[in-house]
Amino acid sequence: MARDADESLPVPKLDVFVGPDWIGEVDLGTPPGKGALQMELSPDGPRIDVYVRGSDGAMPTEQKPCRPCTIAARLVMPYASGTDLPRDCPCCGTPWQGRRVLGQVTAKASGPYHLAQCARCDLILLSPTPSEPVLQNLYVAHKQFTDVAYHGDRAAAANEFYLGRITALLNKVGAAGEPSHILEIGAGLSWISRAAKSFNPNSLTVAQDITSEVVDQCTWVDHYYVGELQATLSEIRQFAPYQVISMTHVIEHLKDPCGVLRTCKSLLDPKGIIFLTAPHRPQGWHRKSPFAVWQNWSYSHVPAHLQYFNTLSMKRCAEKVGLDVILFEAIAEEGQAFEAWLGH
């Protein structure tokens, strides 16, 4: 749309603003789909101002919109800032141009970011990817497990829930009557390992996390490895295959969820199951809901949560790594969280 607005200008680029914020540029010499910022018309979209960038690459001292100066449009994918690149879909690989922006979200120490919806697999993702220092600060530098949700009555309820899940999982894989091998990735307090030991004290439990914060508390874990998954893989692999591999509220934090699932597949027993739980969608949310629904959602953790799966995006991710979706249910907490089982 912006290209048509000023094809005759003798300058190579147009800058695009939403209010005072620069969100991208349109290269007049680039065909659509080859890197140009693309837009789709939407009557409820934000005001888009298009300014001319000088031939020397500098912004004009006095910004004067070119004609037409405003376009009612919703950006398919704006830049989050002048230096951060948009994030392609980590699930199906669709380039950043092929998505619908839901809105901008902010964090105290980084950002801004955008939440966007992939047009192909329906994954909702945060873009751009937070930097490694930001993620290290979130998960290593600060304590994560001091909230009341991890203790007392809520912890007892969580233990009861996960005991029910591990019972169902081991029955499904035919290992309910014998000791099993359980792997928990991004384990934290290792709810599944604790449940597995309650179910059968002779089961072998292995856990991995990037922080050592609660290792000493998890006496129900036989082998707890601290570090990135790839860095601890040789130790983890010595106890494979695993009948159950668990990621409870982990996959939403991963920069490469499909890559981690591929690693899990290599560790999984032929009859085993990968067990996932994660945030799904705000209660009652649909495509035309106002963005405030996301902004006010208790599971909207910026920039910790990098993506939100649904049935379609989970199926696409599983297919990409050669797994099948055995079960996908988004009924917990009135549809705000999902449970998925993946297998060979």
CB half-sphere exposure, 266, CA atoms < 13 A: 12
pLDDT of residue 106: 79
Q: Cβ(142)–Cβ(156) under 8 Å?
A: no
Q: Cβ(187)–Cβ(224) under 8 Å?
A: yes
Q: Locate all alpha helices (DSSP H) within the chain, ordered by sequence.
A: 2-5, 132-136, 152-173, 191-199, 233-237, 257-267, 292-295, 311-321
d(CA 183, CA 187) in angstroms, rounded, equals: 9
Among 52, 75, 98, identify where a domain stops: 75
Q: What angle do CA 223, 228, 230 make, to 5 degrees?
A: 90
Residue 242 lies in a domain: yes
Residues 21 and 153 in one domain: no
3-state class (DSSP) for residue 106? coil
d(CA 327, CA 332) in angstroms, rounded, equals: 14
Residues 148 and 68 in one domain: no
DSSP label of 323: -
d(CA 2, CA 71) in angstroms, rounded, equals: 8
Residue 47 lies in a domain: yes
pLDDT of residue 97: 65
CATH of the domain at 169: 3.40.50.150
* pTM above threshold 0.95: no
Residue 100 lies in a domain: no
Residue 175: what residue type?
Answer: A
pLDDT of residue 24: 52
Token pair, residue 229, equals 């998954």
Residues 37 and 159 in one domain: no
Residues 203 and 67 in one domain: no
Residues 177 and 268 in one domain: yes
Token pair, residue 279, equals 């945030």
DSSP 240-276: --EEEEEEET-GGG-S-HHHHHHHHHHHEEEEEEEEE
pLDDT of residue 39: 43
Residue 154 lies in a domain: yes
Residue 117 lies in a domain: no
Q: Cβ(220)–Cβ(189) under 8 Å?
A: no
pLDDT of residue 133: 84
Overall number of domains in the chain: 2
d(CA 99, CA 289) in angstroms, rounded, equals: 17
Residues 57 and 149 in one domain: no
CA 111 to chain centre: 16
pLDDT of residue 151: 66
Residue 134 lies in a domain: no
Residue 153: phi and psi, rounded to 5, are -65, -40
pLDDT of residue 265: 98
Residue 161 lies in a domain: yes
Q: Within 10 Å of residue 85's Cβ, how many Cβ atoms?
A: 12
CA 37 to chain centre: 23
d(CA 307, CA 254) in angstroms, rounded, equals: 8
Beta bridge partners of 337: 279, 332
Rg (alpha carbons) of the chain, rounded to whole number: 23
Token pair, residue 281, equals 């969608």
Question: pLDDT tens digits for the chain (344 residues)?
Answer: 333 333 333 333 455 554 444 455 554 444 444 333 444 434 444 444 444 444 444 444 444 444 333 333 333 333 333 345 678 899 998 887 667 788 888 777 677 888 888 888 999 999 888 888 888 888 776 776 666 556 677 778 888 999 999 999 999 999 988 899 999 999 999 999 999 999 999 999 999 999 999 999 999 999 999 999 999 999 999 999 999 999 999 999 999 999 999 999 999 999 999 999 999 999 988 878 888 899 899 999 989 999 999 999 999 999 999 999 999 999 988 889 999 999 99
Interacting residues of 309 by C-beta distance below 8 A, sequence separation 6+: 91, 123, 251, 252, 278, 280, 317, 338, 340
Residues 227 and 320 in one domain: yes
Among 22, 57, 75, identify where a domain stops: 75
Kindly tell me the number of DSSP H helices and DSSP E strands found in the chain. Answer: 8, 16
Sign of the Cα torsion 147, 151, 153, 159 reads positive
| Block residue for tokens 């005001």 | 47
Domain containing 252 equals 143-283+301-343
Among 16, 44, 75, identify where a domain stops: 75
Residue 54 lies in a domain: yes
pLDDT of residue 128: 87
3-state class (DSSP) for residue 7? coil
